[in-house]
Amino acid sequence: MALHPNGVHHLAISTNDMKAQLSFFAKVLGCPTKALYWMHGVEGCYHGFAELSESSYLAFVQHPDNADEVQWGITHAGNGGEPVTKGAMQHVAFNVDDFEELLELRDRIRSHDIQVLGPIDHGFIQSMYFAGPEGLSLEVCTGSNINAEAWVDPEVRDLCGIDSHEMEALKHPNDFASPSEALRNPPFDPHKPHMHYPPGVLEKVMAIPDAVVWEKFSEPVPPVDID
């Protein structure tokens, strides 16, 4: 089997009102709260997790320095078709098993006086759209097994600067053979994607051996003893 991520374990969204977010996802969408605790290693910050499935969650991060202002087209898109700053979440779509569940969830959302647009048939998925607290743009959809031969438009492919040979490589990524020994971090390259830390900190953090990171940074004990 090809090696690649098999789903989204959690999507972390910034919030200034943890209670409002967890309440919305519990009451309106039926997603139970599974965790609410001080975020590991971040002073004054807490983390909340709402369950989508046993292996997929929506997480919220309430940091004391989170900005409060929503700027449409910059920090938030506002709906599924508007612009937002590159690298930001334009919208997030949640999955349900079939069209009947989509309709049932539409009615659940509307029963809480939340407007829903849809469903709409996009061919490989059927979707509906609505908003969440703090300007979130949300979607629920159903569909799977997208046929890339049918859904890659040559005109759009060319506009993206992708030729036919590159497209085939994107459709069929190379397999990866794990080396006999774990690879160490490569030297810092500002032209490669990298996390943002204060100057000089990233290089020091990334130079720490994996075993030391595991030993020193891990916090596996839950805050509440249930024994």
pTM, rounded to two decimals: 0.91
Question: DSSP for the chain?
Answer: ---S--S-SEEEEE-S-HHHHHHHHHHTT---EEEEEEPTT-TT-EEEEEEEETTEEEEEEE-TT------BTTTB-SSTTS---TTS---EEEE-SSHHHHHHHHHHHHTTT---EEEEE-SS-EEEEEEEGGGEEEEEEE-----HHHH--HHHHHHTT--HHHHHHHHSPPP----SSPPPPPPP-TTS-----STTHHHHHHTS-HHHHHHHH---S-SS---
Proportion of the chain above pLDDT 90, given as a percent: 90
Q: What is the pLDDT of residues 71-90, one digit of tens each?
A: 999 999 999 999 999 999 99
Proportion of the chain above pLDDT 70, given as a percent: 100
Query: What is the mean predicted confidence (pLDDT) over 114-140?
Result: 97
Q: What is the pLDDT of residues 169-215, one digit of tens each?
A: 999 999 998 899 999 999 989 899 999 998 889 999 999 999 999 99
Domains, the chain, in order of start with CATH, read 10-146 (3.10.180.10), 147-175 (no CATH), 187-218 (no CATH)
Query: What is the mean predicted confidence (pLDDT) over 50-78?
Result: 96
pLDDT at residue number 1 = 64
pLDDT at residue number 135 = 96
